Amino acid sequence: MPDDEKSPDLKNICRVVKVIPENHDTASIFLEKPDDGFNRRKAGQFASIRISGQDGWSEPHPFTISGAPEDELIRLTIKKEGIFTSAIQEIRPGAQVKCMGPFGVFCKDIDTRNTIVMIAGGVGITPFLSVLRHFRNISAQNRVTLFWVNKTTRDVICSDEIRDMTRDLNLKVVHSLSREDDVGHYFQQQFPRVVYEKGRLSVDLFRKHEVLNEAAFYLCGPPPMMESALKDLQDLGVQPEHIQQEKFSW
């Protein structure tokens, strides 16, 4: 039945196909596409999800589509924060959810930028996972540096996949670990473009990794990390119009 002929209650309903744990507090949920609109999604866009409970459908919550836009299924990578994000991780294949979207313009036109700096905090990696998976699919050669802040390597997700992408793409990954002191032993010679730094992001760290201030900058993460990264970029002389941001809050 065409989507616009469905009753409002049935619209946007789709089935959970699989759920895979990514680490101790994060899981990926794979959904069937609820409608053809998702065939036109762009890397980095998000969906709005409702789950069903005793009182009917929940309030909608936004999650970035972490899979590539070319993927058959809609992949969402969700970190447990509160009631909703804990409940959705308990969902099992075959369950139904409501999935609206795709929404957002965060990484619009990123394919056209030659030099890209991605700055992610924790689960704020999801739009960049989508873009990098898309770049891998289309063999893009844009020069990308990904700075990714986590407390420890325990919090890093999809690390082998991202590491392997440094072979396929023009990609360098800087893991910034805020609660680890000894990070040198994580370095693997066969992956020279994956490096580990201790502490948080800083102007010195951006300079050390030769960030060009005319690059296109994309920021996504918790508000304090975003504010501090924005200040660093300002100190580096990056023009505000070269910075795109996605806040995981509303």
Q: Which residues bind ligand FAD (CB under 6 A)?
A: 46, 61-64, 77-79, 81-85, 104, 123, 126, 246, 248-250
Q: Using CB atoms within 10 Å of the CB of residue 32, give its burial: 0 to 12 exposed, 13 to 18 middle, 19+ buried.
A: middle
**Strand, helix or coil at 37?**
helix
The residue (of 34 and 102) whose beta carbon lies closer to ligand FAD is: 102
CA contacts within 13 A on the Cβ side of 163: 16
The residue (of 56 and 82) whose beta carbon lies closer to ligand FAD is: 82
Q: How far is the CB of 25 from ligand FAD (least distance, A)?
A: 9
Pairing relation of β-strands 194-198 and 171-177?
Answer: parallel
The residue (of 157 and 211) whose beta carbon lies closer to ligand FAD is: 157
Q: How far is the CB of 226 from ligand FAD (least distance, A)?
A: 12
Q: How far is the CB of 182 from ligand FAD (least distance, A)?
A: 29
Phi, psi dihedrals of residue 80, rounded to the nearest 5°: -70, 120
The residue (of 90 and 204) whose beta carbon lies closer to ligand FAD is: 90
CA distances from 180 to 160, 163, 192, 196, 217 (A): 20, 19, 20, 10, 26
Q: How far is the CB of 45 from ligand FAD (least distance, A)?
A: 9
